[in-house]
Chains A and B, each alone.
Chain A
């Protein structure tokens, strides 16, 4: 309970794929440190033998019939992509 939680902001920002400025890193580290201190209180709860809930209600897998249905046209599906050509999304080169 007593140890202060460590949030390695460089590592977590890397995992989250967000470029943070040094000022943002300092600010978020301090703010989230406070939040983590608050969250530490959960360690007081006896959860032995308690099943975790991913949802409030037991949600079972739902199967759909394997039947083709009308969907978006390629044009509609791509209309919000920032760069595209020939009905494809364009991105910077990823392999040499």
Chain B
């Protein structure tokens, strides 16, 4: 049974647009209508501009009328996490600090999406400066999980995941520093791809932790993820950490690469704290791959238990440095009480930042401070080397590593108030960022209570074509994504 337009896959709407069965204006209007129908409950967006979106859609239809279609994204409404710059549009990063900020330029991914003809629609809610695992740290609103409105959509890219799950976009972009794409994807029954560090330019992404941050996509299928990745990947002179590598046709690779694969199961990811229903869903997926002729091998990632500590030292250290730029001088918010230059710094930052951002800046400042640097930051960087080596050792034996994405399904809004308990949400995802690897979360079932469960596959550096093909083997033969939220 075909879903209504706002719930169709990117591949499906692209085919209909190309065949002239639907116009971009009709599709965009359908997405706007769906957004208006559900947004009071889901709260996925910080800002929307339907006039601007419909104008982009009309331009796409004009291109189509004269046979100048730009590709599968032409005329497709795509929402962006509100940490990605779109020229002359607001960018809040979920923070009061940037409440009035208007981007003077486009992020490189924005330029690429515009060049591909995408209709940029909606700035998705997120944890403030992408710091959080539930989107509850947004200064503006709390996004609800479309599958259970009393629960979180995950974070920090929770708005991007919820918007897609609720039919408020056909695909969305997010950013992932420690799991911020994969965890909300798992919670909201969508596909979330965090590519290899350096595959996608970070130019125009509001920085959280620069050695870990990576932009990626939320889509309904792995095939859609392949299309999105092809559109946004590639070296950029404006991001000196972006990698010079040929960009293959990821979508074509799905058909070409058939396996069978060697998949590694790290025993450290199946221990204490893993919800039995999540564990059972992942075991079923492992059984599926075995039936497909894949070789399933146990592998060991012995430094797994140190990943979270390493992550919270490195990420907060980098955050304390990156967020020093919000000094009350250049970026929109300055305290009205500031009389001296010291006031400008201390009071503007006190007013502009929320609690979690302050906590992380404080922790990051501490681990970098004189007398503590070697004990915390330098040591964490060394453990990071060991964590990465664990994965490279595993890849001597296997093509990819298979794990749960999260220890539990989505938790209740307001339930996880303790910062350390919230940090433990990221226990299966942070290692991927520390090692710079590509990771994908795909829908893998539902709990008894009707909550989505995600399966994570972790690939080798810059081997997204393989990773997507492995993920597609499961995704193209299961239809979890057809179970829509009841809104």
**How many residues of A are counted as interface, with CB atoms below 8 angstroms from the partner's CB atoms?**
49
Q: How far is the CA of A17 from the CA of B345 in the complex (A)?
A: 6
**B358 contacts A24, C-beta separation under 8 Å:** yes
Q: How far is the CA of A25 from the CA of B341 in the complex (A)?
A: 23
Interface string of B321-350 (1 = CB under 8 A from A): 000100111111110001111011111011
A residues less than 8 Å from B418 (CB atoms): 31, 34
Judged by DSSP, the binding face of A is loop
Is B312 in the interface zone, CB < 8 Å from A?
yes
Interface string of B63-107 (1 = CB under 8 A from A): 000000000000000000000000000000000000011101100
Q: How far is the CA of A24 from the CA of B378 in the complex (A)?
A: 28
Closest CB of chain A to B289's CB: distance in Å? 27
B residues less than 8 Å from A26 (CB atoms): none
Residue in contact with B349 in the complex, picked from A17, A47, A79, CB distance below 8 Å: A17
Judged by DSSP, the binding face of B is helix
Interface residues of B toward A: which range? 35 or more
**A38 contacts B358, C-beta separation under 8 Å:** no
Q: A18-B361, A35-B419 in contact; A41/B382 too (CB < 8 A)?
A: no
Closest CB of chain A to B428's CB: distance in Å? 17
B residues less than 8 Å from A55 (CB atoms): 197, 211, 241, 436
**B241 contacts A59, C-beta separation under 8 Å:** yes
**B365 contacts A15, C-beta separation under 8 Å:** yes
Is A56 in the interface zone, CB < 8 Å from B?
yes
**B320 contacts A16, C-beta separation under 8 Å:** yes
**B346 contacts A50, C-beta separation under 8 Å:** no
Q: A35-B423, A89-B330, A91-B344 in contact; A51/B362 too (CB < 8 A)?
A: no
- Give the most central of A9, A38, A79, A82: most B CB within 10 Å: A82
Q: A17-B345, A18-B361, A52-B378 in contact; A76/B104 too (CB < 8 A)?
A: yes
**A53 contacts B341, C-beta separation under 8 Å:** no
Scan residues 385-428 of chain B and give those whose CB is less than 8 A from a CB of chain A.
385-386, 388, 418-420, 423
**B359 contacts A92, C-beta separation under 8 Å:** no
Q: A31-B419, A51-B385, A57-B461 in contact; A83/B309 too (CB < 8 A)?
A: no
Is B7 in the interface zone, CB < 8 Å from A?
no
Q: How far is the CA of A71 from the CA of B344 in the complex (A)?
A: 28
Residue in contact with B313 in the complex, picked from A15, A34, A39, A93, CB distance below 8 Å: A39
**A18 contacts B363, C-beta separation under 8 Å:** no
Is B114 in the interface zone, CB < 8 Å from A?
no
Residue in contact with A81 in the complex, picked from B320, B330, B369, B385, CB distance below 8 Å: B330
Q: A47-B383, A77-B104, A94-B341 in contact; A19/B197 too (CB < 8 A)?
A: no
**A18 contacts B346, C-beta separation under 8 Å:** yes
Scan residues 26-66 of chain A and give those whose CB is less than 8 A from a CB of chain B.
28, 31-32, 34-36, 38-39, 41-43, 45, 47, 50-57, 59, 62, 64
Is A80 in the interface zone, CB < 8 Å from B?
yes
**A56 contacts B211, C-beta separation under 8 Å:** yes
Interface string of B361-378 (1 = CB under 8 A from A): 111011001000001101
Is A12 in the interface zone, CB < 8 Å from B?
yes
**A89 contacts B329, C-beta separation under 8 Å:** yes
**B343 contacts A92, C-beta separation under 8 Å:** yes
Is B45 in the interface zone, CB < 8 Å from A?
no
A residues less than 8 Å from B330 (CB atoms): 80-81, 89
B residues less than 8 Å from A83 (CB atoms): 334
Is B481 in the interface zone, CB < 8 Å from A?
no
Q: How far is the CA of A47 from the CA of B338 in the complex (A)?
A: 46
A residues less than 8 Å from B320 (CB atoms): 16
Is B306 in the interface zone, CB < 8 Å from A?
yes
Residue in contact with B305 in the complex, picked from A9, A41, A93, CB distance below 8 Å: A41
B interface residue numbers (CB < 8 A to A): 100-102, 104-105, 197-198, 211, 237, 240-241, 243, 303, 305-306, 308-310, 312-313, 320, 324, 327-334, 338-341, 343-347, 349-350, 353, 355, 358-359, 361-363, 365-366, 369, 375-376, 378-386, 388, 418-420, 423, 434-437, 461
20 contacts between A and B (CB under 8 A): A7-B366, A19-B346, A28-B362, A32-B363, A34-B418, A34-B420, A35-B363, A42-B313, A45-B303, A52-B381, A53-B381, A55-B211, A56-B197, A57-B197, A79-B104, A80-B100, A80-B104, A81-B332, A82-B328, A82-B332
8 additional contacts, CB 8 Å, given A7-B366, A18-B353? A42-B379, A50-B382, A80-B330, A80-B331, A80-B332, A91-B341, A92-B339, A94-B341
A interface residue numbers (CB < 8 A to B): 7, 9, 11-13, 15-20, 24, 28, 31-32, 34-36, 38-39, 41-43, 45, 47, 50-57, 59, 62, 64, 72, 76-77, 79-83, 89, 91-94
